[in-house]
Structure 1
Amino acid sequence: MVDQSKLEAFFGLPNQVAFCKSCVISNQRPSSTVEFKHTRNEKKATIGFNEQGICDACSYQQVKAQEINWKDREDKLVALLDRYRQKSGYDVVVPGSGGKDSAFTSHVLKYRYGMNPLTVTWAPHLYTRIGWENFEAWCHVGGHDNILFTPNGKLHRYLTRAAFHNLLHPFQPFIVGQRIIGPMMAARFDVPLVMYGENQAEYGNNVDDNYVPTMDRKFFSTQDPLEMVLGGEKVSDILEKTDFTLNDFAPYIPPDASYLQSKNVEVHYLGYYLPWDPQECYYYAVENTGFQANPERTPGTYSKYSSIDDKIDMFHYFTTRIKFGIGRATYDAAQEVRNGKITREEAVHLVQKYDGEFPAKFYEDFLEYIDTTDDEFWATVDQFRSPHLWKKDGTEWTLRHQVT
């Protein structure tokens, strides 16, 4: 019998693995989705569990169901929107891809509350067919103006490759841009209100963030751009060894908090004001915005309608399973248990069936995009397998702990 307490845990993760007694998430889930450094030896905060073994996300779901006065919250939303409503031009910036969540957010703001949103999109690495069709439907069926912002492809590929090899986090540059694009465009077009959909705190990020309607401005730091770390490398180091210039990094540098304040830009979450349910967002988006689910389920999970616009998205979830033992099916199933769509027993079955599935469909596209061979891919992956999570039986890697 292996003594779990003596096995090394990368990222400062809890050495003893535990699963939520209400959903299927484990205590290895990181509590931040934006990871600038995140090397194997850097401590990573994780989701909290109470004394009864219930995770923060499930505990907050009970708060949503039993303690929040949603009529009062909606009244606050109407008052907020009235404050920013313009006689002409745009009233609010809605960042998104045209997926179910951003389609819901922009459509509700426009057609239920009478706002005129400007939608803005940080382009995926590699559009899927269904992703592009849903993006077009968002504009043409949903009826929205849109700015599609595509970052310097040469630099974005470089950063994505670096993030994969240095952090095993190929989505990090995309997530940074996705967080920045809304406030950046709001400041540029003098639209002081930005509305994202749900706050990731609902799913296990800092639980205290659920009780405030706005994005923490700490993200919009005054850090020297040369000292920023993207893809696990300092910008200054990248400049020294490449032909990129500091100007090339402009889309990745958060607008200064004081600059946003001078422009009166506020960043809010619609999920603070309206009860957020991803599956209900899907139904709404299908009915009102022309959104389509994928004809086939996403590799690594059972769902067909979440994060389906980028060929690289599934590799993000593959790498979270390597680092934290948590794959796409776990994230999907945990969320659906909390929203009462499936039982925990059903979730356990789905996780056991799909969580370990390798996303082979776009594997060759991914390797080409990050200029990496198959051998290099697996060598990098195996470096990030924490001994307290993984064991090797012959040539096969298996997780030491499975949800039951």
Structure 2
Amino acid sequence: MQENKNDYGLPKEIKFCKKCVISNQRPSSAVEFKTSYNDKKEVINFDKSGICSACVYHEKKNNIDWNKREQELHNLLDFFRSKDGSYDVIVPGSGGKDSAFTSHILKEKFGMNPLTVTWAPHLYTSIGWENMQNWSHIGGLDNILFTPNGRLHRLMTRNAFHNLLHPFQPFIIGQRIIGPSMAKKFGVKLVMYGENQAEYGNSIKDNRNPLMDMSFFSVNNPYEMKFGGIKMKNYIEKNKFSFGDFRPYIPPSKKELLELKIDVHYLGYYVKWDPQECYYYASENTGFKANSERTEGTYSKYSSIDDKIDPFHYYTTLIKFGLGRCSYDAAQEVRNEKLTRDEAIYLVEKYDTEFPKKFFKEFLEYIDTSEEKFYNTIDKFRSKHIWMKNSNNEWKLRHNVSGTGLED
């Protein structure tokens, strides 16, 4: 019997939601610049009936008065609306379906004057760059594309992979702070993101608040911020980087945000959010295009397709939490009645553990890592209560949603 130690503070007994296909190993969102090796993770909640909090909240959404919520949005936007034609809302995003929907509807339906801001992907895909361009040229949105210091960002991404098995961590930090940072720079008081991650399994109480928690995008002592598990001050001391090199990663302080009266809201609080409907809208209005082929690790062609590093974000999630890209895609599509649970189970069984080969060599080159070191790091972080080796010495899931795991 192989060791069955549970890692990251995850529940030792693996359970799957009876309505969708997500498991009780799904981690909740964290303050990324505080992340360290083997932090204990908060996870999605399951009720006594075996239903995950994301499904419970989705049922509650059906009882929300969305007309009333839209009126709340009108009132909010009227309060922040510019009277001189200047920008009155910052919309962070990549030109993907969610940010395209958010920015376009704010401009065309609600009459706002949004400035879209983009923290550049590590390595653009061709379809990602095309969608980014279409966002402005077809969708009619102003955009600022910010690309951070590549030498520093690559080093932090490498460290995030080897120290945390979380290569997307530095990017997520940038993605979360660019909205408030640009709002401060341009004197704009309102930032609007798309959906709240609480929709997918964070605490349900987070969905009752239209505002993003300030802890995600504010900091008091930037030198204590961690990138790839290493404090900023250590990079400066050991790697010949300056404080100025880190400036784009440093969000405003909570004190500054309160003094400047910058609000960061989720559009998903005011509008009933459905990712596939966002895709249809973006396709019709901003020139958004799906990929010509499905993304490795899932059946989807339209979600998170702008970055060549993105597949390894999902693959490392699979290794640590037993949930791959298909599990995330299929779970939300079951909730939004685009798939039945049986269909979702079939798709997860077929695609969830697929290795992302297409951009593998480019990923290794980007993080300056050999294939051997890559797999050594993968196995170092592999959660042993989730994985075990079969008779052919291959790593397999102990339990999966289809009930065909090695210990099912």
Residue 175, structure 1, aligned to residue 167, structure 2: no
Q: Which residue of structure 1 lines up, in the alignment, with residue 274 of structure 2?
A: 277
Deviates more, 1:154-163 or 1:240-249: 240-249
**Match for 1:72: what amino acid?**
K
Gaps of 5+ in 2: 403-408
Of the three residues 63, 74, 77, the one matched with 1:81 is 77
Cα distance between partner residues in 2 of 1:345 and 1:312: 30
Q: Which residue of structure 1 lines up, in the alignment, with residue 405 of structure 2?
A: none
Q: Which residue of structure 1 lines up, in the alignment, with residue 257 of structure 2?
A: 260
Cα distance between partner residues in 1 of 2:93 and 2:30: 16
After TM superposition, give the deviation of residue 200 of structure 1 in Å.
Answer: 0.4
Specify whether residues 158 and 40 from structure 1 end up closer, same or farther in structure 2 by C-alpha distance, changes over 3 A only. Answer: closer
Q: How does 1:174-253 map to 2 (within 5 A)?
A: 174-253=171-250
Q: Deviations over 1:118-174 (max 9, x none)?
A: 000000000000000000000000001100011111110010000000000000000
Q: Which residue of structure 2 lines up, in the alignment, with residue 109 of structure 1?
A: 106
Q: Which residue of structure 2 lines up, in the alignment, with residue 128 of structure 1?
A: 125
Q: Which residue of structure 2 lines up, in the alignment, with residue 100 of structure 1?
A: 97
Query: What is the TM-score normalised by the length of structure 1?
Result: 0.97
Q: Which residue of structure 1 lines up, in the alignment, with residue 326 of structure 2?
A: 329
Deviates more, 1:28-37 or 1:332-341: 28-37
Q: Which residue of structure 2 lines up, in the alignment, with residue 68 of structure 1?
A: 64
**Match for 2:224: what amino acid?**
E
After TM superposition, give the deviation of residue 254 of structure 1 in Å.
Answer: 1.9
After TM superposition, give the deviation of residue 207 of structure 1 in Å.
Answer: 1.9
After TM superposition, give the deviation of residue 33 of structure 1 in Å.
Answer: 5.0
Q: Which residue of structure 1 lines up, in the alignment, with residue 406 of structure 2?
A: none
Deviates more, 1:86-95 or 1:273-282: 86-95
Specify whether residues 33 and 43 from structure 1 end up closer, same or farther in structure 2 by C-alpha distance, changes over 3 A only. Answer: closer
Q: Which residue of structure 2 lines up, in the alignment, with residue 166 of structure 1?
A: 163
Q: Which residue of structure 1 lines up, in the alignment, with residue 304 of structure 2?
A: 307
Of the three residues 393, 396, 399, the one matched with 1:395 is 393
Q: Deviations over 1:233-287 (max 9, x none)?
A: 1112222210111111111122111101111110000000000000000000001
- Contact residue 166 and residue 232 of structure 1 kept, 8 A: yes
After TM superposition, give the deviation of residue 206 of structure 1 in Å.
Answer: 2.5
Cα distance between partner residues in 1 of 2:309 and 2:372: 18
Q: How does 1:360-399 map to 2 (within 5 A)?
A: 360-393=357-390, 394-399=392-397
Specify whether residues 33 and 136 from structure 1 end up closer, same or farther in structure 2 by C-alpha distance, changes over 3 A only. Answer: farther
Cα distance between partner residues in 2 of 1:44 and 1:147: 34
Partner SS for 1:11 = coil
Q: Which residue of structure 2 lines up, in the alignment, with residue 286 of structure 1?
A: 283
Partner SS for 2:32 = coil
- Contact residue 225 and residue 235 of structure 1 kept, 8 A: yes
Cα distance between partner residues in 2 of 1:133 and 1:310: 12
Q: Which residue of structure 2 lines up, in the alignment, with residue 42 of structure 1?
A: 39
Cα distance between partner residues in 2 of 1:288 and 1:109: 13
- Contact residue 24 and residue 344 of structure 1 kept, 8 A: yes
Of the three residues 11, 25, 30, the one matched with 1:28 is 25
Q: Which residue of structure 2 lines up, in the alignment, with residue 355 of structure 1?
A: 352
Specify whether residues 18 and 299 from structure 1 end up closer, same or farther in structure 2 by C-alpha distance, changes over 3 A only. Answer: same
Aligned length: 400
Cα distance between partner residues in 2 of 1:24 and 1:371: 35
After TM superposition, give the deviation of residue 10 of structure 1 in Å.
Answer: 0.7
Specify whether residues 39 and 188 from structure 1 end up closer, same or farther in structure 2 by C-alpha distance, changes over 3 A only. Answer: closer
Specify whether residues 169 and 41 from structure 1 end up closer, same or farther in structure 2 by C-alpha distance, changes over 3 A only. Answer: closer
Q: Which residue of structure 2 lines up, in the alignment, with residue 143 of structure 1?
A: 140
**Match for 2:327: what amino acid?**
T
The runs of at least 4 aligned residues of structure 1 exceeding 4 Å deviation read 37-40
Residue 298, structure 1, aligned to residue 310, structure 2: no
Partner SS for 1:239 = helix
Query: What is the TM-score normalised by the length of structure 2?
Result: 0.96
After TM superposition, give the deviation of residue 395 of structure 1 in Å.
Answer: 3.0
Partner SS for 2:8 = helix
- Contact residue 37 and residue 167 of structure 1 kept, 8 A: no
Partner SS for 1:30 = coil
**Match for 1:45: what amino acid?**
E
Q: Deviations over 1:71-104 (max 9, x none)?
A: 1000000000001111221111100000000000
| RMSD of equivalent CA atoms | 1.2
**Match for 1:69: what amino acid?**
D
